[in-house]
Amino acid sequence: MYATPSVKTSPDMPVPDTMRAWVLGDPGELKLVDKPVPVPKRAEVLVRIDAVAICATDLDVIANGPPAMIQGGLPFNKNFTPGHEYMGTVAALGPGVDEYKIGQRITVEIHAGCGQCKRCREGMYTSCHNYGLNYGDVDKGHRANGFTTDGGFCEYQVNNINTLVAIPDAMSDEEATLVVTAGTAMYGLTELGGLVAGESVVVTGPGPIGLLGVAVAKALGAQPVILTGTRDNRLAIGRALGADHVINVRKEPDVVAAVKKLNGGKGVDYVLECAGAPNSVNDAVRMVNRGGKVCLAAFPHEETPVDIAHIVRNNIYLYGIRGEGKSATHRAEAFMSQKRFDATKIHTHTFALEDLPTALKYARERIGDAIKVVVKARHGKVQQVAAE
């Protein structure tokens, strides 16, 4: 049985020596294997993974590799386990850890910065200058679970204590996997944009981050909140999460004019761009008023022409965010615990860990209008469709 010097375990929560884990072979190829249960070091804990949500970036990693980087290169055929949006229970404590207890329920952030570089010291650990430099003798301490180190499509994983967010017992496993998504929206709106109550916001793209961006913006007091997208069913969920107005861009020939009409004939204060379409950035900078702010949260798959002259002439500010920095997940969890919004509205399907390939297919092909698909490693009855 799992026993390592200086690592604290509990007889009430025994840990096995090996675990089930999905590993990435060739592009698009996943295999379910047995792997050793990892051992936490200083300032780390072992997490028993109870549930993990599938992100669009996971689909990119499995199919193409980037943005994952394992041993300095592509993640294929390196015994690498992807997946990053997970929650679970603390199962063992690394040396010196007393901030958390064995048996405590937590959800996780992805990134643990090196703690040494300029950006980490500013709290921007998702922009760590030592990203990926954590191999062998070049141990800078940086971790990005599911990107530079093993992720969550398995039964146990190691996390730095700085990436843990305590959750209440009343929060379901499925909802807890969504805290990091809400944290990304929170990061964009509160840290980079400085949103204050009463300002107007457009969210472009009703994917998971966009939909929770609507929820967070409304919870922060934005007025109005306008959501644009191409799918009526997702726009309806945006309405339920607090959007004052929705625009289907396929039915509206001039989305910029439509936004301004809904905002009293003027541009909005802020745009959270989550669509990543070729024209999205230019639409966003034309939706904001002079001096407005645009947060770019999407990952376009190709270079995008941008009207720089319009940005300069109108004193518009552009921000790019990666992930959920500056502990935004803690604030997102606080909102969710207080029921300021219901993140479970974007959870559509749940599968067992052994059914991960099917879960990925649902997420990739949007089968059954899938938005957030969750995989459960254990515990309780697994339903293929989320409870209402």
Give the pLDDT of the chain (388 residues) as one tens digit per residue: 677 889 999 999 999 999 999 999 999 999 999 999 999 999 999 999 999 999 999 999 999 999 998 988 999 999 999 999 999 999 999 999 999 999 999 999 989 999 999 999 988 898 999 887 775 556 778 889 999 999 999 999 999 999 999 999 999 999 999 999 999 999 998 866 678 889 999 999 999 999 999 999 999 999 999 999 999 999 999 999 999 999 999 999 999 999 999 999 999 999 999 999 889 999 999 999 999 999 999 888 788 899 999 999 999 999 998 888 888 999 999 999 999 999 999 999 999 999 999 999 999 999 999 999 999 986 554 444 443 3
Residue 269 is classified by DSSP as E
Say what the pLDDT of residue 386 is. Answer: 41
DSSP string computed for 278-346: TTHHHHHHHHEEEEEEEEE----SS-----HHHHHHTT-EEEE--SSTTTHHHHHHHHHHTTSS-GGGG
- The span from the CA of 130 to the CA of 68, in Å, is 14
User: What are the backbone angles phi and psi of residue 189, rounded to the nearest 5°?
Assistant: -85, -35
DSSP string computed for 17-79: SEEEEEEE-STT-EEEEEEEPP---TTEEEEEEEEEE--HHHHHHHHH-TT--BTTB--TTS-
- CB count within 10 Å of CB 187 equals 26
Say what the pLDDT of residue 384 is. Answer: 43
Q: What angle do CA 220, 225, 229 make, to 5 degrees?
A: 130
Q: How many residues does the chain have?
A: 388
Residue 380 is classified by DSSP as S
Say what the pLDDT of residue 316 is. Answer: 96
Answer left, alpha or beta for residue 174, where phi above 0 means left and psi between -120 and 50 means alpha.
Answer: alpha
Tokens of 280: 């999205």
- The span from the CA of 316 to the CA of 182, in Å, is 25
Say what the pLDDT of residue 143 is. Answer: 86
Three-class SS of 152-204? CCECEEEEEHHHEEECCCCCCHHHHCCHHHHHHHHHHHHHHCCCCCCCCEEEE
CB 119, CB 129: distance < 8 Å: yes
C-alpha 140, offset from chain centre: 24
Say what the pLDDT of residue 37 is. Answer: 97
- The span from the CA of 304 to the CA of 275, in Å, is 13
For the question of whether the overall pTM of this predicted structure is more than 0.85, the answer is yes
- Which strands, in side-by-side order, build the sheet including 245-248? 245-248, 225-229, 201-204, 268-273, 288-296, 317-320
Answer left, alpha or beta for residue 156, where phi above 0 means left and psi between -120 and 50 means alpha.
Answer: beta
Q: Which domains does the chain have, with CATH numbers?
A: 18-110+145-166+342-376 (3.90.180.10), 185-320 (3.40.50.720)
